[in-house]
Amino acid sequence: MTSDTSVPESGPPANGLPRRAGIADVAARAGVSVGTASKALNGRGNLREETRARVRAAAEELEFAPSTVARSLLTGRTFTVGIITTDSYGRFSIPIMRGAEDALGLGEMLAFLCDSRDDPIREQHHIKRLLERRVDGIIVAGRRTDARQPVGRNLPVPVVYALAPSADESDISVTSDEPGAARLAIDHLVRTGRRRIAHITGPHSHASSRVRADSTVEALRAHGLELVGDPWFGSWSEAWGRFAVAQLLRSDPDVDGIFCGADVIARGATDALRESGASLPMQVGVVGVDNWVISAEAARPPLTTVDLGLQELGRRAGELLIAAIDGSPAPGLHTVPGHLVVRES
């Protein structure tokens, strides 16, 4: 029996799956050595154009896909990174992941996704697995802006913290511009003629709530205004928005603007206002935060809101990680600005 193909006669894979061609197969088919085939495919060395073409053709026919695992063993780089999210792919980590993938994709990198579900043990487990897989770097995406403990000391690869910055200031972190978000909202309300502005937000235990509330007061002061009453701390829910507005209308019936710490709160607020007979946005202007489109657009009227730029934040995280991998880490806390999305409220 003589074989008329140059593919070595190993036994069939038995999986039913097609065999994968290696560079040796390509070389054999093109009638060159593996070294030559490698050069031809990677554009290195000095080869006759005809040889290159022959090798390329052979690779094409065999559907040759070079093994990055072999290459990684050689170069020490895998062109993969790990992304650890703490919030089960919730509404914060999603845009961040998207942005990170944008930035990483440009660097031809692929991301491993790990969901730590806010469990430090799970997180450590994931770190270990990522390190074993020799990822070139790691992004840790939180779901709050509160600082968090670093994932480890002295890891062999760079780590970038997204949204929730590391408590260690020499780490690389990116977060959103919370004071700026409050300023955007307040400026918009004032610009549209509101003077008696209240603030309804999430739990006092969240850094976001506290920072936004403080910045709201400051931003008003910059316009020579005072916040109507105290900030209303509660929860990130529509029910809280409705409830707070009911109370607010009782204590300050002449309020003409409300800045809500989240779109869900703003949505509850607009519902309550509308049902109390107020006409929106004529009598009261409402601004939310998040630009969570599905919710903001369904509200009546559609919500004007501050987009925190989470996708941009993810992109920055990806870029900072790539820079660090390439040997130019930029330690410290970086900030991404948000922007106002004007709808009808």
Query: What whole-number distance in Å separates Cα of residue 96 and Cα of residue 145?
Result: 13
Q: Is 70 in the site for DNA (CB under 7 A)?
A: yes
Q: Is 15 in the site for DNA (CB under 7 A)?
A: no
Q: With CB cut-offs between 5 and 8 Å by kind, which of DNA, its own copies, none does residue 330 bind? A: none
- Residue 94 or 333 with smaller CB distance to its own copies: 94
Q: Is 300 in the site for DNA (CB under 7 A)?
A: no
Q: Is 3 in the site for its own copies (CB under 8 A)?
A: no
118 in Cβ contact with 87 (< 8 Å): yes
Q: Is 106 in the site for its own copies (CB under 8 A)?
A: no
Q: Quick one: angle between helices 178-191 and 207-222, nearest 10?
A: 40
Q: Is 132 in the site for its own copies (CB under 8 A)?
A: yes
Q: Is 32 in the site for DNA (CB under 7 A)?
A: yes
Q: Is 160 in the site for its own copies (CB under 8 A)?
A: no
Backbone angles phi, psi at 156, to 5 degrees: -75, 0
3-state secondary structure 284-329: CEEEEECCCHHHHCCCCCCCEEEECCHHHHHHHHHHHHHHHHCCCC
Looking up tokens 């990680």, which residue turns up?
321
Angle at 208 between CA 145 and CA 179, to 5 degrees: 100
Alpha carbon dihedral 129, 130, 133, 137, in 10-degree steps, equals: -160
Q: Is 229 in the site for DNA (CB under 7 A)?
A: no
Query: What whole-number distance in Å separates Cα of residue 241 and Cα of residue 262?
Result: 9
Q: Which of 106, 110, 330, 342 is close enough to bind its own copies by CB under 8 A? A: 110
Query: What whole-number distance in Å separates Cα of residue 295 and Cα of residue 289?
Result: 11
Q: Is 69 in the site for its own copies (CB under 8 A)?
A: yes
Query: C-beta of 293: minimal distance to DNA in Å?
Result: 43
Exposed/middle/buried for 38, CB within 10 Å: 0-12, 13-18, 19+?
middle
Q: Which of 3, 12, 18, 24 is close enough to bind DNA by CB under 7 A? A: 24
Q: Is 47 in the site for DNA (CB under 7 A)?
A: yes
Q: Is 89 in the site for its own copies (CB under 8 A)?
A: yes
Q: Which of 70, 106, 222, 342 is close enough to bind its own copies by CB under 8 A? A: 70
For β-strands 339-341 and 257-260, DSSP reports them as unpaired
Binding residues for DNA, rule: CB under 7 A, are 22-24, 31-36, 38-39, 41-42, 44-48, 50-51, 64, 66-67, 70-71, 73-76
Binding residues for its own copies, rule: CB under 8 A, are 14-20, 65-70, 72-73, 78, 80, 83, 88-89, 94, 97-98, 101, 108, 110-115, 128-134, 154-158, 237-239, 264, 267-268, 294-295, 298, 327, 329
